[in-house]
Amino acid sequence: MALNKKSVDDFNAKGRRVLVRCDFNVPLKEGKITDETRIVAALPTINKLIADGGKVILCSHLGKVKNGPNEGESLAAVAERLSEKLGKKVNFVADYNVTGEAATKAVADMAEGDVVLLQNTRFRGKEETKPEEAGEKFAQELAELCDDYVCDAFGSAHRAHASVSVVTKYVREKGGTCAVGYLMQKEIDFLGNAVENPVRPFVAILGGAKVADKLNVINTLLEKCDTLIIGGGMAYTFLKAKGYEVGKSLLDETKVDYCKEMMEKADKLGKKLLLPVDAVCIDEFPSPIDNPSINTTVVDADKIPADKEGADIGPKTIELYSEAVKSAKTVVWNGPMGVFENPVLATGTKEVAKALSETSATTIIGGGDSAAAVNQLGYADKMSHISTGGGASLEFLEGKKLPGVYAADDRA
Ligand code: 3PG
Ligand code: MG
């Protein structure tokens, strides 16, 4: 998809101070990074700017930072890993204020090709609030540190935050360039082509717990795809809309009519809407969620007993969904098929991942849980593209304009 925005290829960063917003929001366990995908994905843009002879100032958020700045959500571990990956020192400014004296000094001391990483942008709190409230000042301070700005934080591009979009106003005001990075371009190429210009048949697979979270994406993808496959907890509201009893399964009564509407829409448009034909049922939700000692029963989708809860797609559904994937030329997948955190209830999600790994279609994984599942299963190399964005890829697939993308300068 042609993105009519300036990119890092449209300017030479030699001698320029370039602020790059990355999404280094990586999972940490006891201070150690457990998945470095987002760090690796940021390297091409950073390396390009280094090669230009730019002064590369990186920033990102990490975590939700609900209780103010703390070492547990510091970007120190990211600085270290990034430094290994780049093969050069990353000067980490540990100051909880993010901008200010320490950051200004670190930037002033930079030589061409040097890399500085600022502290977690959400340590300023203001990052999370609306620009008209308080993010404005922080955005201004970020802009003061640099000459140009690059947004490469696809995973955060749906947030109209100080460091993601508001900063561009101030960089532009002083004549700087605002561009998108290579990761941003790659994500938008894959996701954009899949929905705007797909090689058909185009199969979209949506899972996850709640219909309410996917209302817009179901509606949008139904219009774009040839077959829409529904799995996960949200499938039970569709089954209810079909007139089936779903026992104790996840059900959103308020969305039953919506599901009916979507089924009618699919009919009218001549699209296939595939729902589970059988389900793996449990008596109680596992506690803890990954507790493997649970009883399961497989039943047809129209025979879910009143005292049981559907928690994964069954074997007939796996076959049905795998067949649909086999004959596809483009597949987009977002959301697990069942309670995949539990090894006993992960089969549906695993088998869908396997089907995607075996098809010759262009396969695009829309971030979040499905990306984690594909990575865990070792199928990452077999997919055409795994998005680094969860919420961002979903909003993109819904057809929303992402603030992080639209804040960049238009190409002349
Ligand atoms: C994510 O992991 O979802 C992105 O980094 C955005 O983070 P957020 O959902 O906390 O804004
Ligand atoms: Mg999120």
Helix H or strand E segment including 270: none
Q: What is the pLDDT averaged over residues 258-264?
A: 98
**Tens-place pLDDT, residues 200-225:** 999 999 999 999 989 999 999 999 99
In this structure, the residue with its CA closest to atom 6 of ligand 1 is 156
Residue 2 has pLDDT above 90, yes or no: no
Please name every residue paired with 203 in a beta bridge, in sequence order, or none if there are none. 227, 331
Show which residues are catalytic.
38, 210, 368, 391
Mean pLDDT confidence for 312-321: 98
pLDDT computed for residue 375 by the predictor: 87
The structure tokens listed for 255 are 């969305």
Top mutation candidate among 23, 24, 25 for ligand 1, by most atoms within 8 Å of CB: 25
DSSP sequence for 35-97:
--HHHHHHHHHHHHHHHHT-EEEEE---S--TTS--GGG-SHHHHHHHHHHHTS-EEE---TT
Q: Which atom of ligand 1 is nearest to the CA of 23?
A: 5
Please write the tens of the pLDDT for every residue from 62-97.
Answer: 999 998 999 999 999 999 999 999 999 999 999 999
Nearest to 278 by CA among 337, 335, 226: 337
Q: How far apart are CA 52 and CA 88, in angstroms?
A: 15
Which of 78, 159, 402 to mutate to test ligand 1, by most ligand atoms within 8 A of the CB atom? 159
Cα separation, 348 vs 363, in Å, equals 18
- For residue 183, give the H/E element and its range: helix 182-196
Query: CA-CA distance, 251 to 234, in Å (whole number)?
Result: 7
Distance from the alpha carbon of residue 404 to the mean position of ligand 1, in angstroms: 13
Query: Sign of the C-alpha dihedral, residues 389, 392, 395, 399?
Result: negative
The helix-helix angle for 37-52 and 182-196 (nearest 10°) equals: 120
Split at pLDDT 50, 70, 90, the class of 1 is low
Cis link prior to 201 (omega < 30° from 0)?
Answer: yes
Residues 14-23 have a mean pLDDT of 98
Tokens of 307: 């005292």
Mean pLDDT of 113-128: 92
23 pocket-lining for ligand 1 (C-beta < 6 Å): yes
Atom of ligand 1 nearest to the CA of 153: 5
Atom 1 (ligand 1) nearest CA: 155
For residues 151-179, average pLDDT = 96
Tell me, what's the pLDDT at 130? 61
Quote the CA–CA distance of 11 and 72 in Å, as a whole number: 37
Q: Which of 184, 189, 123 is nearest to 153 (CA)?
A: 184
User: What is the pLDDT at residue 27?
Assistant: 93
For residues 313-342, average pLDDT? 96
